[in-house]
Structure 1
């Protein structure tokens, strides 16, 4: 069974033989999984979309819109899987600087997480679970064979997660 380390700005598409892992701060990962074929995909994007002046050119997985399109294209071309046949899980969007309140609650992590939710809704993909926002970073481990995703949330020293049910 192969383990793949996903870096920021990358995505991966594979089958039941693979497991994918990454570490997320304000970045977001979308996992897509097809239960019958036991194939899936995972992204690690930094920003929700390109600036208007950057539109055009090849798709770039650093951006959520592009990463999702790349994953969906490969799932369709390599495995014959359409978007509506997948289930999604969404992770990340953490506040890496919880002691700084400079952005009025509209951090890049929050924008990334909200964009992921909207993109999946627009494609008609069911979101089965999510672990978004809060303070700190997450370690993600996706087993494509089972569709299971394990998440470990770690808060920065001195910061406490104040979400209801949040982890200290």
Structure 2
């Protein structure tokens, strides 16, 4: 069965599932446990909140750090330690390559990709593969049974 993740969503499942998403400047992280054939994927919009979360506020999958925390919690419920998983990172594309960022700042997609790398390194989760940056959007399919991820990058249309 296929499950399609919208921006801000995350999912943890078993080998009977394939997870799909479409990314622009957003980033998807997949976590996969090879022996248990359990995996997780998120689709986040920003690396972190720009404001401090209020006490009692729920975690929000739109932010990478919180999406990763939600995936780790979901894996824990399946008795899968996140540190035993391998990660893959996708996305961070530049959707408007003809525009330049103000003040020389990195485009949001690049910021998201770097944030994903830093978060995973901070948790000690090895990144096995990544397909980041460049121009355009990506279609991503994660097969939890095999841990394989297929990605197709589509350049922005020229108008």
1:124 is the counterpart of 2:124: yes
Are positions 1:150 and 2:131 aligned together? no
The separation in 2 between residues aligned to 1:81 and 1:55, in whole angstroms, is: 29
Q: Which runs of 5+ in 2 are unaligned?
A: none
- Name the structure 1 match of 2:84: 85
Q: Deviations over 1:26-85 (max 9, x none)?
A: 0000000000000000000000011224454100000000000000011011x2111210
SS of 2:89's equivalent? Answer: strand
User: Which 4+ residue blocks in structure 1 deviate beyond 6 angstroms?
Assistant: none
Cα deviation, residue 102, structure 1: 2.6
- Residue of structure 2 equivalent to 1:11: 10
Q: TM-score, normalised by structure 1?
A: 0.90
Measured in 2, the distance between the counterparts of 1:33 and 1:102 equals 35
Q: Please identify, of 120-129 and 46-55, the stretch whose mean Cα deviation from structure 2 is larger.
A: 46-55
Aligned equivalents of 1:86, 1:7: Cα separation in 2? 23
Task: Please name the residue that 2:33 is paired with.
Answer: 34
- Secondary structure (helix, strand or coil) at the match of 1:117 reads helix
Match of 1:47 in 2: 46
**Unmatched 5+ stretches in structure 1:** 160-168
Tell me how many residue pairs correspond in the alignment.
Answer: 157
Look up the match of 1:114: 114
Whole-Å Cα distance in 1 between the matches of residues 61 and 54 of structure 2? 13
Which residue is equivalent to 2:95? Answer: 96
TM-score by length of structure 2 reads 0.95
Describe the SS at the equivalent of 1:26.
coil
- Residue 166 of structure 1 corresponds to none
The CA distance in 1 between the partners of 2:80 and 2:54, in whole Å, is 27
Aligned to 1:60: 60
Pairwise CA distance, 1:117: 0.2
User: What is the deviation of 1:105?
Assistant: 5.0
